[in-house]
């Protein structure tokens, strides 16, 4: 009995010593690895020794100014992480946050720490974010083509056309919004960082978007034309069209898509008569000239 109890006590002591020993080895280990992760900052003067041109260009850019310094005193290392080890290693590439090795999320996180508000509020989940774009697909911190908004292309529309070829083709059609003429930009209607509205529109709906510049189409009208109030793209192709006035179909077909059953059908042949008098010129808007809405007391058929 006595022998058994002693060996039990011995076992407990042995286990206790073992546990202590393990801790003794682990604790300094934990400390050491966390010190490595935190890393040491080197400061921008160090970077200038080997990256002179980059540092000079950076100091002249928007991120070299006071506003940035107020958000972070770590200069280069705000984005590239602690770089003392990189400096000590004589520019060891493996000891610095290499841009090429970051995934999309990490690339954008580099910027979102300071730029998550304002126009960037709806970035997460936006069409561009969810299709794998990062901030750096459109912006360059070090080699922007233009200083304004640090874009990678001189021309904003060119930046967008690189990926949106179909839209580029549309803007070359005879009738188009004057984007390539430089009178407006894609961002006159879109926010590439994401919006609450579909298609990255900055207004609450397509129609609201159009009213911003074509306010006279808003009314109020005594007689409203339902499809106009509903959505301008019922008849217009916003970016560009081969028909007059950005129309998405030619008259009279434009109207006949919905009005097949008027008292003066748009079909040229009707029973025995060869032509219908009311469709002279085939243009419904020759007579229905106020189709966007009328304020005339007897304008319910948009003739005045
Ligand atoms: C002793 C010289 C030296 C110093 C000091 C130095 N670097 Fe470098 N750095 C290099 C060299 C060399 C490379 C590799 C260049 C190459 O291969 O194109 C490099 C590469 C880099 C890269 C690119 C890594 C990649 O993905 O290819 C970054 C970012 C960088 N340095 C940031 C910094 C920052 C920030 C500082 C200041 C804290 C700094 N460097 C200080 C020499 C230096
Ligand atoms: C606001 C974030 C940010 C800051 C601050 C910043 N960088 Fe960069 N750096 C980047 C990004 C993003 C890239 C990837 C290329 C690009 O987008 O221009 C990069 C790339 C680099 C490269 C790789 C070579 C190249 O041009 O592609 C070097 C070297 C570098 N940075 C050094 C520096 C130095 C030195 C500083 C400080 C003077 C600095 N960076 C400050 C974001 C930053
Ligand atoms: C430490 C904070 C910080 C980080 C990180 C940062 N920025 Fe900035 N950024 C600023 C400040 C401050 C300004 C100055 C504009 C202002 O006052 O709002 C600015 C301005 C800009 C501008 C506007 C330039 C203009 O013409 O108005 C762009 C574009 C920009 N940053 C892109 C980026 C990108 C891309 C990244 C990531 C690679 C990034 N920033 C990371 C703080 C930061
Ligand atoms: C699809 C291209 C694209 C992407 C992706 C993109 N931007 Fe932009 N960004 C632009 C354009 C174009 C402008 C100029 C907008 C204007 O003139 O109103 C701009 C403007 C800015 C500005 C300056 C104006 C402002 O909103 O205050 C900042 C800062 C900025 N972007 C940060 C970012 C950040 C951070 C990310 C990533 C989360 C990002 N951008 C992703 C195209 C893009
Ligand atoms: C006058 C306002 C306006 C301008 C300027 C504008 N857009 Fe649009 N865009 C719209 C509207 C409204 C829609 C949604 C209705 C539609 O698809 O026609 C849209 C839709 C889009 C779509 C989605 C199309 C689809 O089939 O889902 C893309 C991509 C697009 N625009 C790119 C661009 C690019 C790139 C530019 C600049 C070169 C540009 N837009 C300029 C108003 C505009
Ligand atoms: C690096 C490529 C790239 C660039 C640059 C780019 N886009 Fe896109 N854009 C995409 C992708 C990918 C989609 C998603 C297309 C899809 O889902 O069919 C998209 C979708 C869109 C949509 C439709 C959103 C929706 O909800 O359907 C609009 C609008 C748009 N982009 C506008 C722009 C504008 C404006 C610019 C320039 C400031 C721009 N894009 C630059 C790749 C790009
Ligand atoms: C940012 C301002 C702006 C917005 C928003 C806008 N437009 Fe325009 N729109 C213009 C300008 C500028 C013209 C060219 C006027 C000129 O050439 O005299 C134009 C011309 C037109 C034309 C006549 C084209 C022609 O060939 O004569 C139509 C139709 C049109 N816009 C429809 C729309 C529709 C539909 C929307 C909404 C999706 C819209 N616009 C949103 C500025 C805008
Ligand atoms: C039912 C079809 C239809 C709808 C819907 C429609 N339009 Fe039109 N729009 C036309 C036709 C047809 C023309 C060319 C005849 C003319 O000049 O009146 C035109 C011409 C225009 C023009 C150029 C001539 C002018 O009157 O200034 C603008 C701008 C315009 N529309 C804006 C809009 C806006 C904004 C909306 C949405 C609120 C809209 N349209 C909805 C059929 C339509
Ligand atoms: C997207 C469908 C659509 C298109 C395209 C369309 N309309 Fe209409 N239109 C309607 C609807 C819906 C009404 C309301 C019908 C009602 O109240 O019975 C209407 C009403 C009218 C009326 C008044 C009818 C009445 O009895 O008071 C006229 C006139 C008219 N449209 C002419 C046109 C012309 C001209 C065009 C071509 C420029 C056109 N519409 C294109 C849907 C359309
Ligand atoms: C020569 C002038 C003229 C032309 C062209 C014309 N209309 Fe009319 N439209 C009228 C007149 C006049 C009325 C009758 C108004 C009334 O009864 O108060 C009318 C009435 C209508 C009405 C409402 C009553 C009904 O008949 O259902 C619609 C819808 C309509 N037109 C659509 C069209 C369409 C679509 C086109 C083109 C295919 C067109 N109109 C071409 C003069 C014209």
Q: How close is the Cα of 240 to the center of ligand 3, in Å?
A: 34
pLDDT confidence of 39, banded at 50, 70, 90?
A: confident
Mean pLDDT over each residue of the chain, to the nearest integer: 85
Let me know if residue 250 belongs to a domain.
yes
The answer to whether the CB of 192 is under 6 A from ligand 6 is: yes
**CB-CB contact of 278 with 270 (8 Å):** no
Q: How close is the Cα of 67 to the center of ligand 5, in Å?
A: 34
Rounded to an integer, the average pLDDT of 59-71 is 91
Are residues 184 and 113 part of one domain?
yes
Boundaries of domain holding 243: 209-287
Let me know if residue 20 belongs to a domain.
no
**CB-CB contact of 290 with 299 (8 Å):** yes
Which of 202, 224, 254 is where one domain is finished?
202
Q: In this predicted structure, what is the pLDDT of residue 33?
A: 37
Q: How close is the Cα of 58 to the center of ligand 1, in Å?
A: 14
Q: How close is the Cα of 40 to the center of ligand 3, in Å?
A: 24
Are residues 233 and 265 part of one domain?
yes
Which of 202, 217, 233 is where one domain is finished?
202
pLDDT tens digits for range 176-222: 999 999 999 999 999 999 999 999 999 999 999 999 999 999 989 99
Percentage of the chain surpassing pLDDT 70? 81
Q: In this predicted structure, what is the pLDDT of residue 260?
A: 79
Instruction: Name which residue sits closest to atom 21 of ligand 5, judged by CA.
Output: 199
Are residues 245 and 185 part of one domain?
no
Rounded to an integer, the average pLDDT of 50-68 is 93
Mutate to test the pocket of ligand 8, among 281, 290, 292, 302 (most ligand atoms within 8 A of CB): 292
Number of structural domains in the chain: 2
Mutate to test the pocket of ligand 5, among 188, 199, 208, 210 (most ligand atoms within 8 A of CB): 199
Instruction: Name which residue sits closest to atom 38 of ligand 7, judged by CA.
Output: 210
**CB-CB contact of 268 with 276 (8 Å):** yes
The residue length of the chain stands at 304
> What's the Cα-to-Cα distance from 301 to each of 25, 263, 293, 298, rounded to whole Å?
90, 12, 9, 8
Contacts 24+ apart (CB under 8 A), 277-280: 279/252
- Note if the pTM is more than 0.95: no
């Amino acid at each position: 009995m006595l022998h058994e109890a002693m060996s039990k006590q011995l076992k407990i002591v042995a286990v206790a010593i073992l546990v202590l020993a393990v801790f003794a080895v682990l604790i300094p280990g934990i400390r050491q690895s966390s010190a490595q992760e935190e890393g040491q900052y080197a400061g921008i003067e160090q970077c200038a020794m080997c990256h002179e041109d980059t540092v000079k260009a950076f100091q002249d850019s928007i991120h070299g100014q006071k506003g940035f310094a107020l958000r972070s005193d770590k200069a280069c290392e705000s984005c590239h992480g602690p770089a003392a080890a990189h400096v000590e290693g004589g520019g060891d590439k493996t000891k610095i946050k290499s841009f090429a090795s970051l995934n999309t999320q990490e690339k954008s996180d580099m910027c979102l720490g300071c730029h998550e508000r304002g126009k960037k509020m709806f970035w997460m989940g936006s069409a561009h974010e969810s299709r794998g774009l990062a901030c750096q697909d459109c912006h360059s911190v070090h080699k922007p083509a233009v200083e304004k908004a640090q874009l990678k292309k001189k021309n904003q529309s060119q930046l967008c056309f690189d990926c949106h070829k179909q839209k580029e083709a549309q803007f070359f059609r005879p009738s188009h919004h004057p984007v390539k003429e430089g009178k407006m930009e894609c961002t006159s209607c879109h926010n590439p960082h994401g919006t609450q509205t579909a298609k990255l529109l900055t207004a609450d709906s397509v129609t609201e978007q159009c009213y911003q510049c074509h306010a006279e189409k808003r009314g109020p009208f005594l007689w409203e034309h339902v499809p106009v109030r509903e959505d301008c793209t019922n008849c217009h192709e916003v970016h560009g069209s081969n028909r007059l006035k950005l129309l998405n179909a030619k008259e009279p077909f434009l109207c006949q898509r919905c009005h097949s059953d008027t008292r003066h059908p748009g079909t040229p042949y009707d029973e025995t008569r060869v032509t219908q008098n009311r469709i002279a010129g085939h243009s419904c808007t020759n007579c229905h000239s106020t189709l966007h809405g009328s304020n005339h007391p007897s304008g319910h058929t948009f003739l005045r």
